[in-house]
Structure 1
Amino acid sequence: MTTHPNVLLVMSDQQRPDTLGFRGETPCRTPHMDRLAREGVSFDRAMTPCPLCLPSRAALFTGLYPHENDMLDNTTSALETCQLLETFRGGGYEVSYAGKWHLGQDNIDRFTDRAAGDSTALYSDWCKERGLVDGWTFNDPRVRTHRQPSMSTPVALPLDMAPETTNDAYIADIAIDHLRTRDRSRPFFQVCSFNGPHPPFVIPEPYFSMYDPADAVRPPNFGPRPGEPAANETSYYRRLFLDHGEDFEAWRKSYAVYWGFTSLIDDQLGRILNALEAEGTLDDTIVIYLSDHGENLGAHGLWHKMVGYEESIRVPLIFRLPGRISNGLRSDMPSSLVDVAPTLARLCDLPSRPEWRGRDLSGVMAGEEAPDLGREMFAMHRPLGDWMGTVPWRMIEADRKKLIWHLDGAVELFDLEADPFELNDLAASPGAADLRRDLLARLHDLMAEVADPRIEDFAAIA
């Protein structure tokens, strides 16, 4: 095993961890993701520090919480520094990036040696040049809401194109070409960032019909919860939920096609793994598979993400590196996307950065350290505008107890071990008063530690 192994970081968009086949929680089949878990380590309680595309990716690539580098706006924020990629470039790695960037316009070349596949307009042109339908399905008005701003909806439709010409196959092709044409005198750090299974749910056969909608089981937390925070009732994404339908029957096809979309992504992952295996470098490469955030799919009566509930904040996080980390380990240690940077630096014998907020997970993966099962976890979100109808929130989880504080003063408290679907809010329960006080105090300390700009509001309200 080389001192400086290669790195392949594969990222999906908006993928819930219950889609991972090896977890057995849904009918979704993901043999290539399963292989990574079987030959590596899956962190089954991984979460995003912010359940929104740009802030979560900023946390991944900087090792910081998104407020620390002004990356909370999903449209206007832009990275000034990219600590993870800069660390690897500084360590002699060739850094290549294929696919979705979403961390600013015209800045990716500052952090990479090669980058392609981010522009959806170029992909649409690529389709047109080949006489194909537009594979960038967000351009299809049938899957966009009539509301403003116009967002994607849960509507599922078939896409009349071959799987190998879809946007995610196009991105996989770029990643494979980067690997094939790389500078072989240096180790590589290759990112492959897919757009799926983020909606719209418009995919080709066989994936569109791969799963039977009848197999979608209504989740216990589907629909609004009595006594929910006011921000849920007024949320733009509650309106999109209601537009699609309060009856779960309206959502069955959405679930089935979401699983099919995930299987399409899994097949693209398999193509990349096969390319590395064919040239004999797979076992000298750290493979990380993760997603930026989850998807509500009607849980708590909400569409999309941006809330502190499990369906929104949990993500897949899998590492594979034979000879350096365990095989087939499923860890319950709470982990976060901010852990990726320090972990990869340690595995590749590169210097860590003092500002990184995450933990190095390599000792846990090697079986050399006991997992910290009671670790405090922190997450946040800032609304994208008044149109969202929500308020900023902060979340702490410790010992499987979760507290969510909302800027309007609402507090939610859940015992995740007893109540994994977050149906029973304990915040007003006299029997949970001590737990509430403890978690509020610990959340205050966490916010102070990371210089959270909402700490004065928190102190005044909470």
Structure 2
Amino acid sequence: MMSRIASLGAMLLLSTLNAPAAACKNVLFIMADDLRPELGCYGAAAITPNLDALARRGVLFQRAYCQQAVCNPSRSSMLTGLRPGTLGLYVNGTHFRELKPDVETLPGWMKAHGYTTRCVGKIFHNWHTKEHGDPRAWSAPEFLHYANHGDDTPQVSGPLPPNLATTTGTMHLYGKEPICECRDVPDEAYYDGRVAAEAVRVLGEVKDRPFFLAVGFWKPHAPFNAPKKYWDLYQRDRLPALNPARPLAAPEIAFHQSTEVLGPPEKQPVPTREQVAEMRHGYYAGISYMDAQLGKVTAALAKHGLLDSTLIVFWGDHGYHIGEHGLWGKTTNFELDARVPLILVPPKARHAGVQTLALVEMVDLFPTITALCDIPPAPGLDGISLVPLLDNPGSTLKEAAYTQHPRPAYADRTKRGRPEVMGFSVRTNSLRYTEWRDYDSGRVTATELYDHSRQEAELDNSIATPAAPAALEHARNLLHRQFPPASQ
């Protein structure tokens, strides 16, 4: 469901298809939280008219990957252009400046080169860290950037409408919220509606000078509590069928206990079929809610006549499981957690509406944005510019993309306070190969191989019987080149 203003944004975003390339005076940098590529433009079930319009106006990356599938390490990695291992950051509770006080960030670099930088919503990680956001990166105080998803309770005037999400009513709370909540409330009742309203206001404030406006939406992260009209977009029995099976022969260490969604292991319910269906429904509702808020921001950009001078970047910090592999949430090296949505919309894009299958990583965004804005590249980044793919989407820049994740999944919550095991994963055009190594000794304790040329769902760990041994050896060599084994 698109509001009138979102519809205007979608129409105006399409008005510059296939026009000549232009320099980027401004950057509208949009992030979503826990969003896997379930957008309509990816051929998936989610109803996302505004993101679909962005994809038709820019270049959609079908194979984009985060460097670690959890909020703080992923966001810190992308925003510094450094891999988690370079930062030494694998947990939510440590701010990257505790480890590297003077490290450069994307918004900080833009600010240093003459841009007005503003933050609306969740951009840097929130809640767990001592430093709140990254104040030095912005030209004004951040807005609604440091909070808890579980505190996103509906704010309304008058009586609170009833919660129509009924099957999960006996499950645990997510902070102060039920895990699912379907109330007939306005968009601004929840965080993302207020983020969109503030982003529209800030656009009006900065429109006459070069700006880097970062807009961080909190959805579709749990709890699954979008306003009712977004739940109404979907028929629950027509959502994609769920296969909860674990991959055959996968090591136990590849999984986790789904505590983020299901609660502490000792108190975890076993969700019924109806509860599973309701949570999946709520996840999709959250995607459409976020999309509608994004539409308000892009409509404001068009209203101010800024489309022809603004680079629009949309990405998600990592993927997510909604019951697949028996998992809820993120924190794995599986494809569903590692792969993220990415759309780049340069002004008057040369290849509007094109999709690329090139492998790219989130550390590549920092150097790409600075290149498109024609400002000097920041030194020492781990990523590379994706501008050649915008010029030629059929080309290839990288042989592989890399993701890693520790065990325990949330290592900072343990007495040790750091990982016991680290999983290193490489994604090539045809394979995902993962090694789990003891964090102290580097000894390999388990391995996984998923052949994407045969099965995209990663339901068979074929490490013992690889269909293409040469391809496996190549993937292993690529992994060892990026993450050298202990013997080297």
TM-score bucket of the superposed structures, by smaller chain: 0.7 to 0.9
The answer to whether the 8 A contact 1:223-1:246 is kept is no
Output aligned runs, 1:34-183, within 5 Å: 34-79=52-97, 80=101, 81-100=103-122, 101-102=124-125, 104=129, 105-106=131-132, 108-114=134-140, 115-120=142-147, 145=172, 155-159=179-183, 161-182=185-206
Equivalent in the alignment of 2:32: 12
Residue deviations 1:75-123 (CA, integer Å, cap 9, x gap): 2233333421122112110000001131642352111112211133799
Equivalent in the alignment of 1:205: 228
Q: Measure the CA separation in 2 of the matches of 1:332 and 1:360.
A: 16
CA 1:254–1:435 in 2, change beyond 3 Å: closer, same or farther?
A: same
Equivalent in the alignment of 1:215: 238
Name the count of aligned residue pairs: 438
AA aligned opposite 1:171: V
The answer to whether the 8 A contact 1:144-1:152 is kept is no
Residue deviations 1:230-289 (CA, integer Å, cap 9, x gap): 224664559949945476554222222211111111111110011111111122111111
Q: Measure the CA separation in 2 of the matches of 1:246 and 1:144.
A: 8
Q: Measure the CA separation in 2 of the matches of 1:401 and 1:124.
A: 40
CA 1:437–1:142 in 2, change beyond 3 Å: closer, same or farther?
A: same
The answer to whether the 8 A contact 1:46-1:315 is kept is yes
Q: Does 1:371 align with 2:395?
A: yes
Q: Measure the CA separation in 1 of the matches of 2:182 and 2:133.
A: 35
Equivalent in the alignment of 1:224: 246
Give the root-mean-square deviation of aligned CA atoms.
3.2
CA 1:373–1:63 in 2, change beyond 3 Å: closer, same or farther?
A: closer
Task: Determine what percentage of the aligned residue pairs are the same residue.
Answer: 27
The answer to whether the 8 A contact 2:30-2:314 is kept is yes
Secondary structure class of the residue paired with 1:11: strand
Output aligned runs, 1:431-442, within 5 Å: 431-442=467-478
Equivalent in the alignment of 2:41: 22
Q: Which runs of no fewer than 5 residues in structure 2 stay unpaired?
A: 1-20, 162-167, 439-444
The answer to whether the 8 A contact 2:226-2:286 is kept is yes
Q: Measure the CA separation in 1 of the matches of 2:116 and 2:33.
A: 24
Equivalent in the alignment of 1:262: 287
The answer to whether the 8 A contact 1:63-1:340 is kept is yes
The answer to whether the 8 A contact 2:245-2:326 is kept is yes
Residue deviations 1:9-51 (CA, integer Å, cap 9, x gap): 110100110x21122221x211110011001100011111111
Q: Measure the CA separation in 1 of the matches of 2:108 and 2:23.
A: 19
Equivalent in the alignment of 1:277: 302
Q: Measure the CA separation in 1 of the matches of 2:374 and 2:412.
A: 46
AA aligned opposite 2:276: W
Q: 1:298 aligns with which of 308, 323, 347?
A: 323
Secondary structure class of the residue paired with 2:320: coil
The answer to whether the 8 A contact 1:99-1:192 is kept is yes
Cα shift at 1:387: 6.8
The answer to whether the 8 A contact 1:244-1:250 is kept is no
The answer to whether the 8 A contact 2:307-2:347 is kept is no
Q: Measure the CA separation in 1 of the matches of 2:148 and 2:384.
A: 38
Secondary structure class of the residue paired with 1:191: strand
Q: 2:217 aligns with which of 187, 190, 194?
A: 194
Q: Measure the CA separation in 1 of the matches of 2:40 and 2:107.
A: 30
Cα shift at 1:155: 4.1
The answer to whether the 8 A contact 1:97-1:191 is kept is yes
AA aligned opposite 1:20: L
Equivalent in the alignment of 1:451: none
Secondary structure class of the residue paired with 2:327: coil
Cα shift at 1:4: 4.3
Q: Does 1:403 align with 2:425?
A: no
CA 1:357–1:55 in 2, change beyond 3 Å: closer, same or farther?
A: same
The answer to whether the 8 A contact 1:414-1:422 is kept is yes
Equivalent in the alignment of 1:392: 422
Equivalent in the alignment of 1:413: 449
Secondary structure class of the residue paired with 1:196: strand
Greater mean deviation of Cα atoms: 119-128 or 100-109: 119-128
Cα shift at 1:314: 1.1
Q: Measure the CA separation in 2 of the matches of 1:143 and 1:282.
A: 47
Greater mean deviation of Cα atoms: 246-255 or 337-346: 246-255
AA aligned opposite 2:69: P
Q: 1:336 aligns with which of 361, 367, 385?
A: 361
The answer to whether the 8 A contact 1:378-1:395 is kept is yes
CA 1:431–1:321 in 2, change beyond 3 Å: closer, same or farther?
A: closer
Residue deviations 1:132-164 (CA, integer Å, cap 9, x gap): 869xxxxxx969748xxx779994221353223
The answer to whether the 8 A contact 2:245-2:459 is kept is no
The normalised TM-score by structure 2 is 0.81
Q: Measure the CA separation in 2 of the matches of 1:269 and 1:339.
A: 23
Q: Measure the CA separation in 2 of the matches of 1:340 and 1:166.
A: 29
The answer to whether the 8 A contact 2:150-2:176 is kept is no
AA aligned opposite 1:361: L
CA 1:333–1:247 in 2, change beyond 3 Å: closer, same or farther?
A: farther
Q: Measure the CA separation in 2 of the matches of 1:144 and 1:254.
A: 11
Greater mean deviation of Cα atoms: 124-133 or 28-37: 124-133
The normalised TM-score by structure 1 is 0.85
Q: Measure the CA separation in 2 of the matches of 1:420 and 1:205.
A: 33
Equivalent in the alignment of 1:351: 376
Q: Which runs of no fewer than 5 residues in structure 1 stay unpaired?
A: 135-140, 449-454
Q: Measure the CA separation in 1 of the matches of 2:178 and 2:350.
A: 39
Cα shift at 1:295: 0.9
Secondary structure class of the residue paired with 1:71: coil
Greater mean deviation of Cα atoms: 95-104 or 246-255: 246-255
The answer to whether the 8 A contact 2:149-2:218 is kept is no
